[in-house]
Structure 1
Amino acid sequence: MGKTANKQMICEVLMEHAAQDKSIVALCSDSRGSGSFTPFAETYPGQFVETGIAEQNLVSIAAGLAKCGKKSYAVSPACFLSTRSYEQCKVDVAYSNTNVKLIGISGGVSYGALGMSHHSAQDIAAMSAIPNMRVYIPSDAYQTKDLTEALLEDEKPAYIRVGRNAVDPVYEEGQVPFVMDQATVVKEGEDAAIIACGEMVKPAKDAAELLALEGIHVTVIDMYCVKPLDQETVIKAASKVKGIVTVEEHAPFGGLGSMVSQVVAANCPKKVLNMSLPDAPVITGTSREVFDYYGLNAKGIADKVREVIA
């Protein structure tokens, strides 16, 4: 497959099932193009709703359709879906326990040059704080495919954050060790553990390979299921290593690093260092430029691992 955008994979899976399952509906807030959902809208116009730039309406309509027996997929930029329509996500989706999957596209710093207004660096914390809301951040298109297939099988609310651009695969096609709500151990090691989510998993894996050349053996965990967090896998990894590094495309508060730190502190205290975006407006640039500037790359992660085991 090569490099494929996770949002494109979501559309492809839904289109495959929508041919037979007429209860599947996709909704967009003027985002069918940016969300890669134009093919869905053109192929299944009777199962597609365009709300225009009205994210609050998007979520409420999706919840209403779900109450009528539909499987609603609300697609909108993560920066707006997680803030502008936060009350609707909390009340109409989570509190009302509707079968709505909120697809936050162009998550993190995907919008690059558009700046802080279009970055979603607090959505993990915000969505995870809502009772009855699950939060998923898949790392590549193969994992996204398996996650989307699994979510079609349940009727519970969920927020899925994906990036804007095509991403390098973490796994091989047909060889994704996917178990719903269970983190994937990408690599085993006894010196340190790197726990990452989303687009940070690939550089975490690359960092482990760099460190292996120095004789430093690292466990790499793909925590695509941020909520519910796979505490068992975190505890198991923490119990056998000297320290832990968490890596996320998110603000330093309330995200993956905070969650992992809570679990480790309560069960098997070890040093945990969190790598994230800063608590400040992020620099302007492409995703790659932003990641490199803040050390969210293989070299930066490897340096942080050396620090945590020193």
Structure 2
Amino acid sequence: MQQLIVIEGPTASGKTSLAVALAKSLNTVVLSADSRQFYKELSIGTAKPALEELEGIPHYFIDSHHISTPVSAAQFESEAMELIRGELAAHKQLILVGGSGMFIDALCIGLDPIPTDAAIQDVLRNELFEKGLDALLDELKAVDPEFYAQVDQQNPMRILRALEVIRLTGIPFSTWRKNELPKRPFEVIRFVINHPREVLYERINRRVDQMIESGLIEEVKNVSEYRNFTALQTVGYKEVFDYLDGKWDLETCVEKIKQHTRNYAKRQLTWFKKHPGTSWLDAKSTDEMRDEILKIVQK
């Protein structure tokens, strides 16, 4: 059976370099499960790897879509499964790398066949922009308290998806999620890169400084016409929009990005802990972590 080797970890944990090293050793390719690196227009704020960082290893789902056509977890699952069953079927192993837990789980575990509606998505994105996330959370709490109690309430993508389904069907999102999941034609082997908290936070702070130096403010200006899209209602973009709107000065903006990115990293780690079969790798050099993974997957 084909192996899907998953490299997970919070933002700034070193996932890309590990995935590339592992792919080189296994002569395979990498699928990215970063919910914002799909988009051609977003690079600096998503920490998208530069071409030289990929070291010639084929990567799928980086710069694969335009921001004007948002990618849902269900769409990612569908497109990735089509690749795995077709173009990538000859590979004994595939690497899946990312920090977007919902997208990783969509491919590794599967999603219920939940309906979707583009018109409702547009309405909800406009409401998010005009009214803010709190108003949508209030609606979710009223119509589906079970899902409201479970969901990451700082994740607008998940809030919008739940409300889309509820408005479309009149059925609580939590009810839809209880259906039987599909079987997978591959074995999933999951690894999480785990840094000591203070080390991870320092890596995050350095990355944010590098983003600012690399031109994050200008990138945000260039995509301002899409600011009501979910991908831009996220850490690193929404804070810069607030800065450009005059809500705070640049120094405060940078500190807010660092703070919110650290908070996001904590939520990522909480998500990864949901899967008891995952191997947690103490952060070492890329080569040491690669060798540790190879010992496990080649048994």
TM-score (norm 1): 0.29
- The one of the two structures with greater contact order (alpha-carbon pairs below 8 A, sep at least 6) is 2
User: Higher helix fraction: Structure 1 or Structure 2?
Assistant: 2
TM-score, with length taken from structure 2: 0.30
Give the structure with the larger strand fraction. Answer: 1
